[in-house]
Structure 1
Amino acid sequence: MNKLPVFLLLVFLQGCAQKPYYGDLTHLGKLPSKLSEVSGIATFNQSRAWVIEDNGNKDIIYAINLEGKLVKEFKVKNAKNTDWEDLAEDDQGNLYIGDFGNNDNDRKNLIIYKLPNPEKEKGSNIPAEKIEFHYPLQKAFPPSKKDLLFDAEAFFHWDNQLYIFTKDRSRPYLGKTLVYRVPDKKGTYKAQLIGTLNLCNEQNHCSVTGADISTDGKTLALLGYGYLYVIRDFELDNLATSKIDRIYLKHETQMESICFLNDSTLLIADEQSQTKGRNLYSYKIE
């Protein structure tokens, strides 16, 4: 038997088996190995984005191009990465880091760092102001298992306010997301509870891991593992009454970062998990 055709067949089958599947996401590129735990993403233009990593990583913000390549980085002065979980930007060019990851619901040092526009900064360091806050409903650190509602991985900026979406860690799982608001100015605040969302009751898909609002303010996108929640025709003070479109992305990885590239296109990044993740994607919403 001629061994050449068999060899070619094996090569072909191996190539097919290794071809990645990204569901309904468009794969833009692989993130560098030093960015294996990207937890937040934001952008000021359509040529690159800024990302951060979460707990245990450096106090650094990174710029990547739309192929996922690292192009710039800044050490954030006067800031510590206790658990950086999301990025947001405002229309004045400021960047916000949400240091509010709180897996055990026992933190008393929740902070949002406010940075000037990194696109205009020079050198290797960037300054930060502190927006400190607490949840007035939390009385115990940690609370009982049924009240573990004070972790957060998502927020966005709108009209001089920062909107924070908590992540439900209660037992039994309630599928509850609390929506809080704090001012975008340096200071110490009580976070104002403005609503509650119940996206669904599946813990792996219904906990909010990222959020952003379109620049025109008409579309809100919430991210879960493998799922996207799109909200339109909403009032920010009353999101619970809004119609929420649940979209299965057909690709289930540890997705924790989302932002609008433009009013109809999203950028999404996921963390490295075993053999999956550490990718940058785009997704077009209709």
Structure 2
Amino acid sequence: MLKIKLLFFISTCCLFSCKNGELSVIANLPISLNEVSGVETLRNSELLWVIEDSGNKNHVYGLNSKGSIIRDIKITNAKNRDWEDLTSDNLGNIYIGDFGNNSFNRKKFTIYKVSDLTSNNTTAESISFTLPKKLRHNDFEAFFLFKKHFYIFSKSDGKGVMVKVPNQTGDHIAEYVTSFNLKGKNNKITSADISENCKAIVLLNHDSVWQITNFKSDDFFSGKIKKLNLDHNSQKEGVCFKTDSELFITDERTGNLNGNIYLFN
């Protein structure tokens, strides 16, 4: 009877693991980083790079596979007004998206380009933009770099917008590209990334990932859109590709819960 009960317990655990799918915790984020809002991998770096959002330090952190802080870099000429996402280029530069706008009163947004990730203190180049008049009020939390332009996604309950900004230092007016309306209960996009081969895009919210493939040029939403349920609800704020078929995902800590780095296949 004891053996039967043990086998039943093991079987139940296996079924639970399978049901919760391919989202698995690989490391805890450091206690000092409660509000990680973006995550990114870089060529020629084994570290996982993260930032925190508004009210936190103007620092970029490099974490190892166990979640420990290996690099802690202060961006001396940048203010963390509302850092929301990270992206990178093939040259090893990392870009910080300071474009959060929860109060809907910002008129100017900034993307910081950080080239030196070896010093404890460094400076960044600034790529600033304003919105076209008809898009005056929007909150942005997600972006990636594609063909020399940043594609930036609004965080909206229903219909969202996507704008693009050239990867050039200086001041710009963002170009409206399209609107989108993803099906589902919670469509607020909190992070985005594009695969290294530029054939897949992922958009993240608290309990799902939307995968977009088979698109042409930057007409992303004409491609194949597939919703991938994570079977886990938390304040997920960061996503990036590890490989063409694997994602790193991070969430914010709430009390003693969450604050993890996840792997999603």
Of 208, 223, 245, the residue aligned with 1:264 is 245
**Could you say if the C-alpha distance between residues 177 and 139 of structure 1 is closer, same or farther in structure 2, counting changes exceeding 3 Å?**
closer
Q: Match of 2:164?
A: 181
Residue range with higher mean Cα deviation, 152-161 or 273-282: 273-282
Match of 2:154 among 166, 174, 179: 166
Alpha-carbon distance between aligned partners in 2 of 1:92 and 1:161, rounded to the nearest angstrom: 15
Aligned to 2:91: 92
Question: Which of 126, 130, 143 is 1:130 aligned to?
Answer: 126
Q: How does 1:97-136 map to 2 (within 5 A)?
A: 97-118=96-117, 121-122=118-119, 124-136=120-132
TM-aligned CA deviation for residue 196 of structure 1: 1.4
Matched with 2:68 is 69
Deviations 1:22-65 (A, max 9, x none): 65312111111111100001111473211000000000000011
Moved over 4 A (4+): 20-23
- Write the distance in 2 (CA, Å) between the matches of 1:179 and 1:281: 27
8 Å Cα contact 2:191/2:237 also seen in 1:
yes
1:239 aligns to 2:235 (yes or no) = no
Residue 206 of structure 1 aligns to a residue whose secondary structure is coil
- The alpha-carbon distance between structure 1 residues 167 and 139, as it changes in their structure 2 partners (threshold 3 A), is closer
Among candidates 28, 37, 40, match of residue 39 of structure 1: 37
> 1:39·1:271 contact (CA, 8 Å) conserved in 2?
yes
Identity among equivalent positions (%) equals 40
Number of aligned residue pairs: give it.
Answer: 250
Q: Is the 8 A contact 1:39 1:51 kept in 2?
A: yes
What is the Cα deviation at residue 117 of structure 1?
4.8
Q: 2:144 is matched with which residue?
A: 156
Query: How far apart in 2 are the matches of 1:200 and 1:50?
Result: 31
What's the offset of the Cα at 1:197? Answer: 1.4
Residue 81 of structure 1: aligned partner: 80
Residue 28 of structure 2, aligned match among 1, 15, 30: 30
SS in 2 for 1:81: coil
Could you tell me which of 201, 204, 226 is aligned with 1:223? 204
Give the direction of change, closer, same or farther, for the CA distance of 1:26–1:117 in structure 2 (3 Å limit): farther
